[in-house]
């Protein structure tokens, strides 16, 4: 039946053309944005997951920055510690040279030792990165004065299956690596090289706190030695020891003190070296984790450009055919008019 009131063919062709145009717009949007899920309306579940993962990835980027900052602090302390070790070793060599030396030679050796003692203080005082110095510290305001609370470096951002977020941290135990501490500690809590008079004479450290000459260990019972006189409680400090007027027995005790301090400094350098390695490994892991998350998000929301390009060409052809079909359907009315021509 032919009708001029209702053109069923035209309506069918129009619906088909509208569907083709809608699909074409969707494909063109994917090609222009690069996403097949650009908004929540495209796929609410995938969009929600991708949004959360992108947010977590931004947090991981901040963690990566924190690790970089922490690495700078550890590197600074590690470099200074190694340099301090070299200087203390030089003091050790000067002490060996002082055994059996004349008083005139001891005076010259004292001058050289003094220069290195000042250098130790300079090294520790300058080991600052971003306002943090783990070698020259002040523990007066810490939980236990004299004992460093330690330092923490944010190392990870973790999201549990229930959505709970936690931050992982790498903790650096500063107590055994501090060289100087101006806090109110006893000898057993001193630093490695402590500040001495240049920083604060109240508290000493691993090298500046009094150590028993007999063992080299820090001990509250140690008392300042008197040059030329040997006592069981004789104590020495790496950053204040003098060989002038001291006999060979006392110089040997000074060597015991320096040797023990070197051992503690070596342990401190080991702690810093291990922390440096762990931070480097974590930085590498976080970087790879961020790449993995990016790939995961891409699998969910990125458009397959090869597929969309092929689909675009097919839809363009469908659009042209739809327009042609609609044109043919609209021409049916003209065909009806020809029936009434004489």
What does 191-247 look like in DSSP terms, one character per residue? -SS--HHHH-TT---TTTS-EETTT--B-TT-EEPBTTB--TTEEE-TTT---TT--
What percent of the chain shows pLDDT beyond 90?
A: 48
User: Residue 195's pLDDT is what?
Assistant: 33
CA atoms within 13 A on the CB side of 272: 25
pLDDT, mean of residues 263-283: 94
Q: How confident is the model at residue 200 (pLDDT cuts 50, 70, 90)?
A: very low
For the segment 96-128, what is each residue's pLDDT rounded down to a tens digit?
999 999 999 999 999 999 999 999 989 998 999
Q: How confident is the model at residue 6 (pLDDT cuts 50, 70, 90)?
A: low
CA 14 – CA 128 distance, rounded (Å): 75
User: Residue 123's pLDDT is what?
Assistant: 93
User: Residue 208's pLDDT is what?
Assistant: 52
User: Residue 187's pLDDT is what?
Assistant: 63
57-302 topology per CATH: f41 fragment of flagellin, N-terminal domain (1.20.1330)
């Amino acid at each position: 039946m032919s009708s001029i009131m209702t053109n069923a063919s035209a309506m069918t062709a129009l619906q088909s053309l509208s569907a083709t145009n809608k699909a074409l717009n969707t494909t063109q949007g994917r090609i222009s944005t690069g996403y097949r899920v650009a908004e929540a309306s495209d796929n609410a579940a995938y969009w929600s997951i991708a949004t959360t993962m992108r947010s977590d990835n931004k947090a991981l980027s901040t963690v990566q920055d924190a690790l970089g900052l922490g690495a700078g602090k550890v590197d600074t302390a590690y470099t200074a510690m190694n340099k301090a070790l070299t200087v203390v070793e030089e003091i050790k060599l000067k002490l060996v040279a002082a055994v059996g030396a004349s008083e005139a030679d001891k005076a010259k050796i004292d001058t050289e030792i003094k220069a290195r003692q000042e250098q130790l203080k300079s090294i520790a005082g300058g080991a600052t990165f971003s306002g943090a110095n783990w070698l020259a510290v002040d523990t007066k305001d810490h939980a236990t004065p004299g004992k460093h609370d330690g330092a923490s470096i944010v190392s990870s951002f973790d999201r549990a299956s229930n959505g709970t977020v936690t931050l992982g941290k790498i903790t650096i135990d500063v107590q055994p690596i501090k060289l100087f501490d101006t806090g109110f500690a006893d000898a057993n809590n001193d630093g490695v090289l402590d500040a001495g008079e240049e920083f604060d004479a109240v508290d000493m450290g691993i090298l500046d706190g009094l150590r028993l000459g007999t063992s080299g260990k820090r001990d509250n019972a140690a008392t300042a030695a008197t040059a030329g006189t040997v006592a069981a409680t004789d104590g020495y400090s790496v950053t204040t020891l003098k060989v002038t007027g001291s006999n060979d027995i006392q110089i040997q005790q000074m060597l015991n003190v320096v040797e023990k301090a070197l051992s503690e400094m070596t342990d401190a350098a080991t702690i810093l070296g291990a922390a440096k390695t762990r931070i480097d490994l974590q930085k590498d892991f976080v970087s790879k984790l961020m790449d993995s998350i990016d790939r995961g998000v891409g699998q969910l929301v990125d458009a397959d450009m090869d597929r969309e390009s092929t689909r675009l060409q097919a839809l363009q052809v469908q659009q042209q055919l739809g327009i042609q079909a609609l044109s043919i359907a609209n021409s049916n009315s003209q065909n009806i008019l020809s029936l009434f021509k004489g």
